Structures are given as structure tokens and as C-alpha cells.
Structure 1
């Protein structure tokens, strides 16, 4: 009887512990989708797509300490001053607190900034905010991995 009770208790704990994780995954999926759209838009920049994904008050911190606004972030991508040939995202986590989401991941990529080939390996923190029913990047900070 003790073994059965222990097994039943273990199954119940597992079931209860699994419910929030599954619910959180469903809740965080729209943020993960927005982050993926941003990744794609950074490789193949499009003014409208980037504008829709980025908050007007964007604070975009680079690993070297430079800060971008929405206008300079999008402008540098469109002008190929910041040119991503490829971006791979790994180890991504998403957590929610009301209308704010925190995304952390590792970004590795190939660049061709102003025509100069390079590679990047960064740890990135993104802060997303739900604005007008859509998730928009509010802040981003990268450090070299």
C-alpha cells in the first residue's frame, strides 16, 4: 500500500508540476513567435516588418556598448551597416510578467557589416512589451559570449 501511495503521490506531483509548464509554453508562444520574426527580419531587413516588431522607445544595446534607437537600429539594418548573413538562436527562454516578457538566448551569426565579413557569438537579453495587442521589442542588451 505504501508503494502504491508513493507512486500515486509521485504521479500527482508530476501532473501538477507539468500543468504550469504547459500553460506557460502556450502563453509564451506569441513572444517566441515575435522573437523569431525579428530574427528573420534582421537577416532580410524590411522596414514595415521591423517597424511592426520594435517599440518606438526601443533601447538596443550592442555588446560593444553602442546604443541604438528604433530609427538607428532599423536604419543600420536597411543600409547594411549592420548586415546579418545568418543568425542562429539557441538556449532560448521566455518568461512573462503581465504585458512584459523577458527573452534570453545565445545568438551566433555571420555578418557582413559595411561589407566586412565577421562572426558574432552573443548572450542576449530582450524585453518585449505587449502594445496594442502585439508584442514589440522594448529593450535589448548583448554581451560577448
Structure 2
């Protein structure tokens, strides 16, 4: 009886440990958190909110456009909130998310209707690479690079 009880306890303990520290579950949770951050960013780019953008973006942001222009965090937020860069709508497709430790790499195709100042209505379809880092429990956009597709 004593041996059976020890065996049951050992099996239960091992099962609890494997469930609680499952790399697949941790990966899945992180992927979902990054996907949520990407969606918040998409929404904040369509309806610019400086506070939301400030919370989502790292102070060390390097935001690269397909034209070759690279912006800092302040320049990125200012371009959206001033209407200089105006996204009427943004659709993201073919998204992949890979999390390695506290870093996430996101790739997707961005298709958007735009109405940038001085350029009138337009459409854009570009490939995007996003690099997110987990800082103090929050995913922050560290880098973005767009390429023409």
C-alpha cells in the first residue's frame, strides 16, 4: 500500500510539473500575447492614439519604411497623430509569429488604404518584419521594417 501511494504521488507530481512548465503552452501563451499586441498596434495606427502608441512602442524603436525612411519612436507617433501618415484601414495577412525567449519576430503582409497629407487617397501592399521584446511583462515594438512586395 505504501509503495502504491508513493507511486501515485510521484506520477501526480511529474504530471503537474510537466503541465505547468510545458514549453508548448508557454510558447502558445507568448504567441497569443504578441498577436494581441500586433492587433493593438494595427488599431492604433488606423485610429491614432498617442497614449496607446507610447505604451506599445519601445523608447528605442527603429521604424523602417519601404521607402528607406527610418523613424524614431517620437517621429513614428507624431507622423500618425498629425495625419502626415494616415491609414484609413489596415489588413494583415499571412502572419507568422516566432517567440524566442523574450523576443518575438512577426512577419505579415500589410494591405492598407491611405490618405497621407499631400498625397491624397492611396493603397499600399508591403511585407512587414516586426521585432517585439518583452519588457517588464509587456510586449514592446522594438523594430519594424517594411519591404515592397
Q: Which residue does the alignment assign to 2:52?
A: 49
Q: Which residue does the alignment assign to 2:127?
A: 123
Q: Which residue does the alignment assign to 1:34?
A: 37
- Structure whose alpha-carbon radius of gyration is higher: 2
Summarize deviations over 1:57-86 as a string: whole Å, max 9, x none.
000000000001000000000000000000
Determine the C-alpha separation between the residues in 2 that align with 1:23 and 1:130. 14
- Extract unaligned runs of 5+ from structure 1: 1-18
Determine the C-alpha separation between the residues in 1 that align with 2:117 and 2:84. 5
Partner of 2:30, secondary structure, is helix
Partner of 2:76, secondary structure, is helix
Aligned residue-pair number: 127
- Extract unaligned runs of 5+ from structure 2: 1-21
Partner of 1:82, secondary structure, is coil
How does 1:78-117 map onto structure 2 within 5 Å? 78-114=81-117, 116-117=120-121
Report deviation, 1:27. Answer: 2.7
Moved over 2 A (4+): 19-27
CA root-mean-square deviation: 1.5
Determine the C-alpha separation between the residues in 2 that align with 1:38 and 1:21. 26
Report deviation, 1:24. Answer: 3.3
Determine the C-alpha separation between the residues in 2 that align with 1:48 and 1:140. 19
Q: Which residue does the alignment assign to 2:144?
A: 140
Q: Does 1:63 align with 2:66?
A: yes
Q: Which residue does the alignment assign to 2:80?
A: 77
- Scaled by the length of structure 1, the TM-score of the pair is 0.83
Q: Which residue does the alignment assign to 2:17?
A: none
